[in-house]
Structure 1
Amino acid sequence: MDASEETKPLLSPADREVNATSGDTSTEGRQFDKIQNKNLYLATFAAVLGPLSFGFVLGYSSPAIPDLKRIDNPNLQLDANAASWFGSIVTLGAALGGIIGGWVVDKIGRKLTLMMCSLPFIFGFTVIIAAQNIWMLYLGRVLTGLASGVTSLVVPLYISETSHSKVRGMLGSCVQLMVVTGIMGAYVSGLGLHWRWLAVACSVPPAVMLILMCFMPETPRFLLAKNRQSEAIEALRFLRGPDYDPEWECRQIEACSTEQTNGLRLEDFKDPVVYKPFIIGVLLMFFQQLSGINAIMFYAETIFEEANMKDSSAATVIVASIQVVFTALAALIIDRAGRRVLLIISGLTMAGSTAAFGVYFKIGMENSKNVSIDKIALLADSSPTAQPPENQLAWLALASMAVFIAGFAIGWGPTPWLVMSEIFSTRARGFSSGACVLTNWGCAFLVTKEFHDVMSLLSSSGTFWVFSAFCLLSVLFTILCIPETKGRSLEQIEEHFRRVT
């Protein structure tokens, strides 16, 4: 094992003596050798149909808005302002979902919360399918956003609490992988499906998730927190295979969580085990959104139109494909490279690419006085007489966007959600995760809704340079504040915050 700060064990020898009832390192190694991951992968697959569903929610607006702006029905036709609300109101529902989910997930458990959140997904898309006016469209978007907020909270927790340290990073990264797969699925489906039929397609994954989750176990850590030891043992036996000793892992978990069964109280925020991970988690979500990712993804098609790409719909599909590929790459290497390394590489890559995008728009504005900010921010129709100011630089826009998406996908896309699911203590996990989701989606709403106003104030180039500055700040934050968690059990990570002053 490395002697570096990032890779040495979070538990000291003295700490390991305190936890002697959990078994020594050799015992841990023998237990890992007996694990069979087949059922764990099945449970993870059932859970990540939730992120796939809210990926469809995020991607739905890009192909649906152009259809709804051209529709003949005046009760459904979206003008520029209504299109902006249709794209961004989902984040308000998601922020509300973070508040509700943080409370519900500790009351009824991870499994039942995940099953329940499939219902607003299905009902929300049903409302969109049956929409007769703009307000029904808004309601459908809010409901699907509500489900997205709960899902973005509970799925990382479910995967983290059912996984073991050898595969937790890979499986946790599948959350973001399924989100971007859903976004790409919406983009591709939108090329050939009417907006109502696209909503029908989007309602299928949550329905399948509801069925599959009926056969999956609750997380062992939640069951032990509720003093349901026999159920926890059965859950571990299902997740780890018949040759594994579930009682050994139960003893490990209980050794670190015996003082945490009374729930979270206000005075607990004086404890560094609670407040330090809380601050890190909230700032992770803040920096993820201030990279500009949701503004770019919500308005990807129009950004490419502004960059004078002839087939902007195809360009967004290409971008989504890049995101899927690099998110999959992150899932494969995150348990080897570590969380911190990927966050630093990701932040530097995004900073450079957004700066280059700003240069593109700066050159475009200097060479043409006809650049339309309304067009780029509010998905306005292209003017047939408008001519690209610098066609020969269109490659710079496409390259910058592709590099940005690749950089985000390999680090700041999956890793904040993974780290969020790892660093919180048992008693604070529901509340702190809810606060992180609220921060994430609240910032997402502000960025997407105010994108137009910011670009009016700072210009296209200035806005992307601001995003670049936040990306650089995220690198500094990673270096100074985020501990490495690869290869550590959740109990070891918790002990790290207890020891760090």
Structure 2
Amino acid sequence: MALISSRNEESTYEGPTSKYVQYAGVFAATLAAFSIGTYLSWTSSALPLYNKTDTLSVSDQEASWISSLVPLGAIPITIPAGILADKFGRKRTIWAITVPLFLCWYIIGFAQSKIWIFLGRFVAGAASGAASVVVPMFTSEIVEQSIRGLLGTIFQLQITAGILFAYATAFTDSLHVIAILCSVVPALLLISFPFIPESPAWLVMQGRKNEANDVLKHFRGAHYRTETELTRLELQASEMREAKASIFHLRNYQKMTWITLGLIIFQQLSGINALIFYAKRIFDDADSILSSSISSMIVGVVQVIATYYSTILIERSNKKLLLFISMSVMATCMFILSGYFHFQNSHDISNVSWIPLFSFAVFIMIFNIGLGPIPWLMVDNLFTNNVKRTASAATAICNWTLAFLVTKCFQDMVNLMGLSSSFATFGMISLIGTVFVSTLVPEMKQMGRNVEEIQIELYGMQIRTSRETDPEI
């Protein structure tokens, strides 16, 4: 639920340091996103260590389950997480989510049985899925409109920082040390988050207007005049109560729904999670110019930098063109990787051993400035407020489901076809995605257009007729 701002609202803001309180709140909440990143990429550094011990060896199939249980655990919690946040509050829900994010590291890192590893990864996945819903909800509700775009990128930036951190733990051969290091950030969140106030939007929804007033002054500054913003929050709360959309309302937005879900499908089937989860192993198999640990860290650094600059680039670029370029380059990178592994056993390619690292890094970079963030922006720009949350939930379920399938099946693909054909398959999917973007995705150059203008472009007069017959649209 976004806070609405205006020129008038900007003039009520006093105190040059009050935005730092908003930065602090967002940074603290998105430490959960950092933890998600560590769970996603932990397998890259940790899985090779299991077979170095006699007590707990892991087969390829077991490794694929260990990797894929995080996205599998996230699937069933996506919708309940939003309901729990509405009932108990964003702050309490985030703190409760952080408890398993912290404890699961000790379950996984110190497990004496593979069953406990499976359980820990699944529960951590459920907590990650809940955090991916509630944390962005909270951060969007505590910041003012003028900095929402900037702070909105911090969630994804924290995920990439967590991925890099887990790659960096490859310096140690101890699963215990890796688990302890990865548990530090959720521990910091557990300690710090009780000092962060509740979302003012949620307080207004609960009829606690006086508390919401105090929270707004906390986040905006003691001299901030809260009347206008409180009135708008009350209006939004009333609209949310009166026009809650179910999944069936998406039938009135079929083209938008298929466009958004289509982009998510190509996003996940591009192979992004297979690369993140199995980075170290892929570099080991490639005999890359650098060690697999250093190569993984370089890729992690590239991902963080690309995510940091993605907001500026996306805001200034033609979104449809950026999607097309992103998919084209990603397909090219996959075909290059496929060719490298194809000729690896039959030719001497030591002179071009830099190709896997270069292709991997370019793929990650272009993904994070195109196909990675833009599908999520589609939800915010193509759907009206009353169905936006439902559309977000459907998109998130699709995202986690496909992430699970790709991560689980990647090992089977490699066993069946080899790395070369597996990468070629991912490349073909991205190539098909360029056709999808060219033919079906609407022009998004003017991202600030009114939602109705974009809908009329997709549906013509049909959307107006639907609104007249169904006021909930």
Regarding TM over 0.5, the answer is yes
* Number of the residue aligned with 2:44: 62
- TM-score of the aligned structures, taking structure 1 as reference length: 0.79
The counterpart of 2:393, out of the listed 424, 430, 434, is 434
Amino acid aligned to 1:397: P
RMSD: 3.3
Please say which of residues 78-87 and 443-452 is displaced more in the overlay: 78-87
Question: Structure 1's 185 and 193: CA in aligned 2 closer, same or farther, altered over 3 A?
Answer: farther
* Number of the residue aligned with 1:451: 410
- TM-score of the aligned structures, taking structure 2 as reference length: 0.84
The counterpart of 2:34, out of the listed 42, 48, 52, is 52
1:149 positional shift: 1.0
CA distance in 2, matches of 1:245, 1:497: 35
Amino acid aligned to 2:8: T
1:143 aligned onto 2:123 = yes
1:34 positional shift: 7.3
Amino acid aligned to 1:45: F
The counterpart of 1:470, out of the listed 426, 429, 432, is 429
Amino acid aligned to 2:211: E
1:284 positional shift: 4.2
1:67 positional shift: 1.1
Deviations 1:232-256 (A, max 9, x none): 3333322222343332233344555
* Number of the residue aligned with 1:323: 303
1:39 aligned onto 2:18 = no
Amino acid aligned to 1:452: Q
Deviations 1:63-117 (A, max 9, x none): 11111111121xx221222222222222211223324324323332322221111
CA distance in 2, matches of 1:47, 1:475: 36
Question: Structure 1's 101 and 283: CA in aligned 2 closer, same or farther, altered over 3 A?
Answer: farther
5+ residue gaps, structure 1? 1-21, 369-388
Q: Matched residues, percent identical?
A: 34
CA distance in 2, matches of 1:257, 1:268: 22
* Number of the residue aligned with 2:342: 362
1:393 aligned onto 2:352 = yes
1:409 aligned onto 2:368 = yes
Deviations 1:215-264 (A, max 9, x none): 22333333344444333333332222234333223334455563321463
Deviations 1:319-375 (A, max 9, x none): 11111121122245545557656544433332332232223233336x26xxxxxxx
Amino acid aligned to 1:153: V
CA distance in 2, matches of 1:249, 1:161: 12
- 1:114 and 1:151 in contact (8 A); partners too: yes
Amino acid aligned to 2:272: I
Please say which of residues 115-124 and 223-232 is displaced more in the overlay: 223-232
The counterpart of 2:57, out of the listed 59, 77, 102, is 77
5+ residue gaps, structure 2? 458-462, 464-473
1:46 positional shift: 0.7
1:285 aligned onto 2:244 = no
The counterpart of 1:246, out of the listed 208, 223, 226, is 226
- 1:353 and 1:401 in contact (8 A); partners too: yes
CA distance in 1, matches of 2:14, 2:316: 18
CA distance in 2, matches of 1:196, 1:225: 44
Please say which of residues 53-62 and 435-444 is displaced more in the overlay: 435-444
1:208 positional shift: 1.4
- 2:64 and 2:409 in contact (8 A); partners too: no
- 1:86 and 1:138 in contact (8 A); partners too: yes
CA distance in 2, matches of 1:31, 1:486: 29
1:308 aligned onto 2:287 = yes
1:56 positional shift: 1.0
Please give the secondary structure, in 1, of the residue aligned with 2:51: helix
* Number of the residue aligned with 2:249: 269
CA distance in 2, matches of 1:223, 1:238: 14
Question: Structure 1's 219 and 341: CA in aligned 2 closer, same or farther, altered over 3 A?
Answer: farther
Question: Structure 1's 212 and 447: CA in aligned 2 closer, same or farther, altered over 3 A?
Answer: same
CA distance in 1, matches of 2:341, 2:177: 36
